[in-house]
Structure 1
């Protein structure tokens, strides 16, 4: 079997990164035990970085991005999966240095593949995708650290983005009071309220410039996608014994701060690594997303794109103007 299929390819030409839909063959794909016909993918920040030539994400070009894929097993040499199985592949090296989900086919190692929970469609699985999985893993780790609604409100940064909006929906369904932190100070209040946020704060509140090592406690915990000084502010304004999770560095990868939030207030900083999350935990989190945590309020407002129309949404994400989720129908 060496059929042709469509893929979005990124090529490096004279220092510029060119996007083009190309016809490829199955034999062009990397080695792996499981060949999947992709039904849906989704757009994530790592994809936008890969498209723009970020060598910290993708080292070699030409390349097919897409760190998410959901589809049907077309061929398998693995004993774990058979032809016709409905599966999800997210994270690991997919779409980074291994050709990813912005194509009609992927071929991957069996250790990357998750059986699609029966409660989820391909479309819904990719509405969640890596962003939803990261949000759910953040909530899972927050609960595991002992965070409860009785301790007080939880801040979610990047509240209108993929991770943030899904995290708000899950937290509010669990009874938490949620504070939505956004770059904008006004607008989208109806959307945030529908997601489950009770309060909105602007970037200035979570970007303290005073230089003080501790601030007056304002929240009991946080889920952060920004990093840098935003993460620093969340930690030093957190109530004693609270937990802050970190899953991104959109703002900065640096964290210059004192140890006082940790040794005086007992704050826990929990890192979220959705890329290499162990498979037993990955399946557990996906099962929760398919069942009691399948509560995302904005499914009807998700943008569905073709490969050909994906350019526009990639550019918006690179400009940090994207909102909600963009999924790709193959």
Structure 2
């Protein structure tokens, strides 16, 4: 009997040691920290492998999802995008301004904008990264997210694949509509009209960076400082390119849609204007960008 008990006891001890080792490793992974330098210059200590991320800056949600980050909560505004709504159907939605709803999810990392008025309160819940949206273009943005979740290689790979894919798109489009053809983005919001710059979202990254299309000279000059120009109705003709993209909420009309100043532009007369879904186009994460890439390419080639 003793001969049988000794090997069995040894086996139990080995298994117990393995279990303890596994638990120790898991505990160590949870407790490991790294330092991230914020856009403000301040440093924040964050988990090396965050397990419970709450994303209040919806701009960054799709990028983190593409990097297989562990997201437990996301700002409910993602539901305005039919692209991201599906991607986050199984993730809790939170009110981005309600700190209590965030705290209930017990995050180990929160990602928001530097304009968030609750940053100090959020920092008491979990380490909080507050991005300055205007500081990064969409590629830099994705690489920064890769650094945060330890997926830098995957982020770099996406950027490389994106550049290769859209370079071919741009060539095809310019061959079809002309390399010197201009495109502008005009948007109305809160009773004002805007001409958008090269990095203000709403398809600008696709048109000007990815496809390499040209912006009207007057738009480029007007948007060079703030990437956005507040314009009057009378300025619409001079801010309109050969093609004009107009982001609108689904089912909505433009405030100037039925006015002569718009209807008499060459773009309208030539049938070279098209509306795009504001709910999707204000975002510039990998999923939204790919939708916009296909949508804009199709519209430009059809017109």
TM-score, length-normalised on structure 1?
Answer: 0.30
- Pick the structure with more helix per residue: 2
TM-score, length-normalised on structure 2?
Answer: 0.32
- Pick the structure with more strand per residue: 1
Higher relative contact order (CA 8 A, sep 6+): 1
